[in-house]
Amino acid sequence: MISKKIEAALNEQIALEAYASFLYLAMASWCDREGLEGCAQFMHRQSDEERAHMLRIYGYLSETDGFALTPAIAQAPHEFESVQVMFEKVYAHEQKVTQSINDLVNLSYAEKDPSTLNFLQWYVAEQREEEALMRTILNKIRLIGDGPQSLYYIDKEVDKFNKAALAAEATEEEQ
Protein backbone atom coordinates (compact mmCIF):
# COMPACT_ATOMS: atom_id res chain seq x y z
CA MET A 1 0.00 0.00 0.00
CA ILE A 2 1.43 3.38 -0.99
CA SER A 3 0.18 6.91 -0.36
CA LYS A 4 -1.74 8.85 -3.01
CA LYS A 5 1.15 11.34 -3.12
CA ILE A 6 3.67 8.62 -3.96
CA GLU A 7 1.28 7.07 -6.47
CA ALA A 8 0.89 10.45 -8.25
CA ALA A 9 4.65 11.07 -8.25
CA LEU A 10 5.34 7.59 -9.68
CA ASN A 11 2.77 8.24 -12.39
CA GLU A 12 4.64 11.45 -13.28
CA GLN A 13 7.80 9.36 -13.51
CA ILE A 14 6.00 6.95 -15.86
CA ALA A 15 5.21 9.93 -18.12
CA LEU A 16 8.84 11.08 -18.07
CA GLU A 17 10.17 7.60 -18.96
CA ALA A 18 7.57 7.27 -21.73
CA TYR A 19 8.55 10.65 -23.18
CA ALA A 20 12.23 9.61 -23.07
CA SER A 21 11.36 6.42 -24.96
CA PHE A 22 9.63 8.41 -27.74
CA LEU A 23 12.30 11.11 -27.79
CA TYR A 24 15.01 8.47 -28.32
CA LEU A 25 12.89 6.74 -30.95
CA ALA A 26 12.62 10.06 -32.86
CA MET A 27 16.39 10.40 -32.54
CA ALA A 28 16.87 6.84 -33.88
CA SER A 29 14.81 7.77 -36.92
CA TRP A 30 16.82 10.97 -37.49
CA CYS A 31 20.12 9.06 -37.19
CA ASP A 32 18.84 6.46 -39.62
CA ARG A 33 17.95 9.14 -42.21
CA GLU A 34 21.36 10.77 -41.76
CA GLY A 35 23.12 7.45 -42.45
CA LEU A 36 24.37 7.13 -38.85
CA GLU A 37 23.68 3.42 -38.46
CA GLY A 38 25.56 2.92 -35.20
CA CYS A 39 23.89 5.94 -33.60
CA ALA A 40 20.46 4.76 -34.83
CA GLN A 41 20.97 1.36 -33.21
CA PHE A 42 22.17 3.03 -30.02
CA MET A 43 19.08 5.25 -29.84
CA HIS A 44 16.76 2.29 -30.52
CA ARG A 45 18.34 0.48 -27.62
CA GLN A 46 17.96 3.53 -25.37
CA SER A 47 14.33 3.87 -26.42
CA ASP A 48 13.64 0.22 -25.50
CA GLU A 49 15.39 0.70 -22.17
CA GLU A 50 13.23 3.70 -21.32
CA ARG A 51 10.11 1.70 -22.07
CA ALA A 52 11.41 -1.01 -19.73
CA HIS A 53 12.01 1.64 -17.03
CA MET A 54 8.42 2.78 -17.48
CA LEU A 55 7.02 -0.75 -17.24
CA ARG A 56 9.02 -1.42 -14.09
CA ILE A 57 6.97 1.33 -12.39
CA TYR A 58 3.74 -0.24 -13.69
CA GLY A 59 4.81 -3.46 -12.00
CA TYR A 60 5.65 -1.73 -8.73
CA LEU A 61 2.34 0.16 -8.64
CA SER A 62 0.45 -3.06 -9.26
CA GLU A 63 2.41 -4.81 -6.50
CA THR A 64 1.66 -2.05 -3.99
CA ASP A 65 -2.05 -1.67 -4.77
CA GLY A 66 -1.47 1.55 -6.71
CA PHE A 67 -2.82 2.38 -10.16
CA ALA A 68 -0.54 3.07 -13.14
CA LEU A 69 -1.86 5.68 -15.57
CA THR A 70 -0.89 5.40 -19.23
CA PRO A 71 0.32 8.89 -20.19
CA ALA A 72 -0.34 11.11 -23.20
CA ILE A 73 2.98 11.73 -24.90
CA ALA A 74 3.96 15.22 -26.07
CA GLN A 75 5.40 15.42 -29.59
CA ALA A 76 9.16 14.87 -29.42
CA PRO A 77 11.44 16.88 -31.76
CA HIS A 78 12.14 15.24 -35.14
CA GLU A 79 15.03 17.34 -36.38
CA PHE A 80 18.45 18.00 -34.84
CA GLU A 81 21.06 20.51 -35.86
CA SER A 82 23.89 17.99 -35.55
CA VAL A 83 24.78 14.71 -33.85
CA GLN A 84 26.49 16.68 -31.07
CA VAL A 85 23.37 18.76 -30.45
CA MET A 86 21.33 15.54 -30.36
CA PHE A 87 23.57 13.95 -27.70
CA GLU A 88 23.55 17.22 -25.72
CA LYS A 89 19.75 16.92 -25.65
CA VAL A 90 20.03 13.29 -24.50
CA TYR A 91 22.39 14.28 -21.70
CA ALA A 92 20.14 17.15 -20.62
CA HIS A 93 17.13 14.83 -20.59
CA GLU A 94 18.98 12.25 -18.49
CA GLN A 95 19.91 14.98 -16.00
CA LYS A 96 16.25 15.97 -15.79
CA VAL A 97 15.29 12.32 -15.13
CA THR A 98 17.97 12.07 -12.42
CA GLN A 99 16.54 15.17 -10.73
CA SER A 100 13.08 13.65 -10.87
CA ILE A 101 14.33 10.37 -9.30
CA ASN A 102 16.09 12.37 -6.57
CA ASP A 103 12.84 14.25 -5.87
CA LEU A 104 11.03 10.92 -5.63
CA VAL A 105 13.62 9.61 -3.18
CA ASN A 106 13.16 12.74 -1.03
CA LEU A 107 9.38 12.37 -1.18
CA SER A 108 9.64 8.72 -0.10
CA TYR A 109 11.65 9.83 2.96
CA ALA A 110 9.09 12.52 3.76
CA GLU A 111 6.23 10.00 3.35
CA LYS A 112 8.10 7.43 5.50
CA ASP A 113 7.85 4.85 2.70
CA PRO A 114 10.81 2.40 2.89
CA SER A 115 9.40 0.14 0.19
CA THR A 116 9.39 2.89 -2.45
CA LEU A 117 12.77 4.06 -1.23
CA ASN A 118 14.09 0.56 -1.80
CA PHE A 119 12.42 0.32 -5.23
CA LEU A 120 14.01 3.60 -6.31
CA GLN A 121 17.57 2.49 -5.55
CA TRP A 122 17.70 0.67 -8.91
CA TYR A 123 16.84 3.95 -10.67
CA VAL A 124 19.44 5.90 -8.70
CA ALA A 125 22.17 3.52 -9.93
CA GLU A 126 20.76 3.43 -13.47
CA GLN A 127 20.75 7.22 -13.76
CA ARG A 128 24.34 7.44 -12.52
CA GLU A 129 25.37 4.96 -15.25
CA GLU A 130 23.32 6.64 -17.97
CA GLU A 131 24.67 10.09 -17.22
CA ALA A 132 28.24 8.78 -17.23
CA LEU A 133 27.66 7.00 -20.56
CA MET A 134 26.18 10.07 -22.26
CA ARG A 135 28.98 12.27 -20.90
CA THR A 136 31.57 9.83 -22.29
CA ILE A 137 29.95 9.92 -25.74
CA LEU A 138 29.69 13.71 -25.72
CA ASN A 139 33.34 14.05 -24.74
CA LYS A 140 34.34 11.77 -27.63
CA ILE A 141 32.26 13.83 -30.08
CA ARG A 142 33.86 17.04 -28.78
CA LEU A 143 37.32 15.51 -29.27
CA ILE A 144 36.59 14.23 -32.78
CA GLY A 145 34.57 17.30 -33.85
CA ASP A 146 31.20 16.84 -35.54
CA GLY A 147 31.90 18.29 -39.00
CA PRO A 148 30.94 16.18 -42.07
CA GLN A 149 34.37 14.49 -42.20
CA SER A 150 33.98 13.25 -38.62
CA LEU A 151 30.54 11.66 -38.80
CA TYR A 152 31.83 8.28 -39.94
CA TYR A 153 34.22 8.10 -36.95
CA ILE A 154 31.61 9.30 -34.49
CA ASP A 155 29.24 6.60 -35.74
CA LYS A 156 31.93 3.94 -35.36
CA GLU A 157 32.70 5.12 -31.82
CA VAL A 158 29.03 5.01 -30.81
CA ASP A 159 28.71 1.57 -32.40
CA LYS A 160 31.40 0.32 -30.00
CA PHE A 161 28.90 0.95 -27.18
CA ASN A 162 26.30 -1.16 -29.04
CA LYS A 163 28.80 -4.00 -29.37
CA ALA A 164 29.76 -3.73 -25.70
CA ALA A 165 26.08 -3.84 -24.66
CA LEU A 166 25.44 -6.91 -26.87
CA ALA A 167 28.49 -8.67 -25.43
CA ALA A 168 27.30 -7.90 -21.87
CA GLU A 169 23.85 -9.31 -22.69
CA ALA A 170 25.37 -12.48 -24.14
CA THR A 171 27.46 -12.99 -20.99
CA GLU A 172 24.38 -12.50 -18.82
CA GLU A 173 22.46 -15.09 -20.86
CA GLU A 174 25.28 -17.61 -20.46
CA GLN A 175 25.17 -17.28 -16.66
Residues of this chain that bind ligand OFO (CB under 6 A): 17, 20, 50, 53, 94, 97, 126-127, 130
Q: Report in angstroms how near the CB of residue 130 gets to ligand OFO at its nearest.
A: 4
The string of DSSP letters for the chain reads: ---HHHHHHHHHHHHHHHHHHHHHHHHHHHHHHTT-HHHHHHHHHHHHHHHHHHHHHHHHHHHTT----PPP-PPPP---S-HHHHHHHHHHHHHHHHHHHHHHHHHHHHTT-HHHHHHHHHHHHHHHHHHHHHHHHHHHHHHH--SGGGHHHHHHHHHHHHHHHHHHHHHHHH-
Q: Report in angstroms how near the CB of residue 33 gets to ligand OFO at its nearest.
A: 24
Q: Report in angstroms how near the CB of residue 80 gets to ligand OFO at its nearest.
A: 18
CB nearer to ligand OFO: pick between 24 and 30:
24
CB nearer to ligand OFO: pick between 94 and 157:
94
CB nearer to ligand OFO: pick between 17 and 113:
17
